[in-house]
Amino acid sequence: MTVEVRYFSRGGNTKKLADAVAAEVGVAARPVSEPMEGRADMVFLCASVYAGGPDKSVLAFLRQNARDIGRIAVLSTSASGRSTHGRIKAAAEDVGVAVSDDFFHCPGTWTLFHKNRPNDEDCRSAAAFARAQLG
């Protein structure tokens, strides 16, 4: 099974999750700004919540790479407690990409909220989520 880990992170919170997942599955975490170089059976898509949803670059990544993505598993961080899963799932399904109903979400540090999150336990949980998605 071919696996990719992709992320969008402005402050580094979501990149921490992406790096933990990448270490677990044995690939490099790469930003969504880099195009895919071939088909991936599973893409772990790590995206933060900004203004109520994922950054537009995450949605552009889905549109530009839809034919090369077999399935997506979503991981996200936010200060609000909301996940990007629903918005990513809707956008992915619009371009014919399947998204796991299961997702991982944890708080992310933002100004005075959720200091030091994601923490080591969050990263271990994200890695365990990835392991479970791969069966």
Q: Look at the chain and report how many structural domains it folds into.
A: 1
86 DSSP assignment: H
Tell me the pLDDT tens digit for each residue of 93-115: 999 999 999 999 886 656 566 56
Domain that holds residue 75: 3-134
Cα–Cα distances in angstroms (integers) from residue 12 to residues 2, 61, 78, 92, 116, in the given order? 25, 19, 12, 24, 11
- The overall average pLDDT reported for the chain is 89
3-class SS of residue 91: helix
CATH number of the domain that residue 109 is part of: 3.40.50.360
pTM score, two decimals? 0.89
> Given this model, what pLDDT does residue 110 score?
60
Tell me the pLDDT tens digit for each residue of 13-51: 889 999 999 999 999 999 999 989 899 999 999 998 666
